[in-house]
Amino acid sequence: MKKNLSSYSDNELVEMLRKGKPDSDWAFTEIYDRYALRVNAYCRTILQNRESAEDVFQETFIRFYQNVQSDFRNGTLVGFLITIARNLCLNYKRNTKANLPIEDFDFPISENTDIEDKELTDLIMMSFELLEPDTKEILIMRVFNYLSYNEISDILGITAARARYLVFNAKDKIKNTLLPYMKEIGYVSSEKFEKDYK
């Protein structure tokens, strides 16, 4: 029977991973349940292909399990997982060098999201295509993976201030791209849009 570890901190779960079975299995399951959606969303958004992203997603957790005991020291668990996923995504893109069609682009949306938000999310995701790959990645980390600026700075090897600037810049580009369309179709007031995506 699965042990309920939902109240355990990430560091407590890592300590359990280091104890061996059955504690390590329970801890790994809790970590997977806690962060799988965020890691999967990152992979799917970066690779823009469901099958490839699923492969990288699964490999991320395999690598995590193999390396957490020796490589995880400081920082956050989600940051560690995204770092692994990022490296695997970069390797995949370097090895395939394929341009994937826009139809393969996917980002999971909650079933609780209303129609307007889904339409807005579709517009935002399409506007991502206009961003440089590095700019796109940092915005994904912040907006969709909810990483702090410190976590982003650790993953990318930049300062937190630089991470904050890059995220602001990326959001500004998306806002400037979308605002004319939003006003034209009367989809949402420009004030609300600017507030939500500033």
Mean pLDDT (the chain, rounded) = 79
pLDDT digits (tens, 9 = 90+) for 68-103: 888 887 778 999 999 999 999 999 988 875 444 433
Tokens representing 184 are 């034209």
What pLDDT shows up at residue 36?
94
Q: Are 47 and 56 in contact (CB under 8 A)?
A: yes
What pLDDT shows up at residue 98?
45
Beta carbons within 10 angstroms of residue 4's beta carbon: 9
Per residue, the 3-state secondary structure of 47-116, as one string, reads HCCHHHHHHHHHHHHHHHHHHHHHHCCCCCHHHHHHHHHHHHHHHHHHHHCCCCCHHHCCCCCCCCCCHH
Residue 159 has what DSSP assignment? -
Tokens representing 40 are 């999967």
Residue 175 has pLDDT above 90, yes or no: no
**Which of 139, 141, 144, 147 lies closest to 175, judged by CA?**
139
What pLDDT shows up at residue 120?
65
Q: Is the four-CA dihedral 78, 152, 156, 167 of positive or negative sign?
A: positive
pLDDT digits (tens, 9 = 90+) for 5-31: 889 999 999 989 888 888 889 999 999
**How far is residue 69's CA from residue 86's CA, in Å, rounded to a whole number?**
19
Please give the helix or strand (H or E) that residue 166 lies within, else none: helix 160-185
Residue 145 has what DSSP assignment? S
Chain-centroid distance of CA 170 in Å reads 15
- In this prediction the pTM is 0.68
